[in-house]
Amino acid sequence: MEALILYFVLFFPGAIASPFFAGNGEAISFSIALELSRILTYTMPSLALLWYLILGKKGFSSILFTSLRFPFFEFPSFKNNGGKPVKKDIFAFGTGLFSLIVIGLGISVSASLFSEYLELPLPPSVEGPASILGWIVIAVSCLCTGYLEESYFRYYLLSKLKNALPQAPIRIIFSSLLFSICHIYEGPWGALNALLAGIFLSVLFLRFRSLHGIAWAHAAYNVFVYAVSAWQNII
């Protein structure tokens, strides 16, 4: 019950606030002020609340200075290393980023080829920053978002539901569907992209037990999307 309450509190409001068939290839504008406001008023507080619950209300210092012992989390990269990154996190990052880019490009090509035939709107694009400060804000925002979403949908949810849904494939599908719903503002192609990405990241997480790696990959992919958009506007 706690997991679903957290989902509806932290993620669902943003999903229902945006229309499902968002835009038709229209760009989502970027604003430094709005992005900073989102980081400070939503992303960081949500991440803090989530980890406060994950840590069993023991305080945030334990994630940095002690070996973590969770009642239902048994992930060595955190329990044995005090939350510090390890070598396998680098491998998970590289594998995750490459795969997310492949999935994203595949969805983009499919959308351009089949949207008109299927009578589906094109996914909205994003407007890249126009200044160095803007790119710094985007990098921070993407990193915070990566840790927030991966902490919940992979680290927290896949473990919290272990007793209720002991079969890993069912947990993966359930988690990925919830992750996809959070992206319905990107239209059907964006939701499909999130579903496929969620499935892959879940498998990667369960295989390597690496939160840092998939959070970095998630963040880097989001920055990649902004970079591609900025490059297209230049040329």
The mean per-residue pLDDT over the stretch 164-176 comes to 93
pLDDT tops 70 at residue 29: yes
Give the CA distances from residue 227 to residues 7, 128, 164, 171, in Å, rounded to whole numbers and listed in that order. 30, 7, 41, 33
Indicate the residue type of 123: P
pLDDT tops 60 at residue 177: yes
Query: Which residue, chain included where needed, has tokens 């709107």?
Result: 121
DSSP code of residue 126: E
22 vs 211, which has greater pLDDT? Answer: 211
- At 23 the pLDDT is 53
Pick from 25-29, 133-137, 158-162: least confident = 25-29
How far is it, in rounded angstroms, from Cα 69 to Cα 82? 10
CB-count burial class (<10 Å; 0-12, 13-18, 19+) for 165: middle
Compute the mean pLDDT over every residue in the chain, rounded to the nearest whole number. Answer: 83
- At 187 the pLDDT is 87
20 vs 8, which has greater pLDDT? Answer: 8
Count CB-CB contacts under 10 A for residue 105: 11
How far is it, in rounded angstroms, from Cα 139 to Cα 11? 21
- At 200 the pLDDT is 97
pLDDT tops 90 at residue 225: yes
- At 93 the pLDDT is 96
- At 127 the pLDDT is 85
Provide the CA 103 distance to its chain's centre, in angstroms: 14
pLDDT tops 70 at residue 51: yes
**pLDDT band at residue 83 under the 50/70/90 scheme:** low
3-state class of 125 per DSSP?
Answer: strand
- At 63 the pLDDT is 43
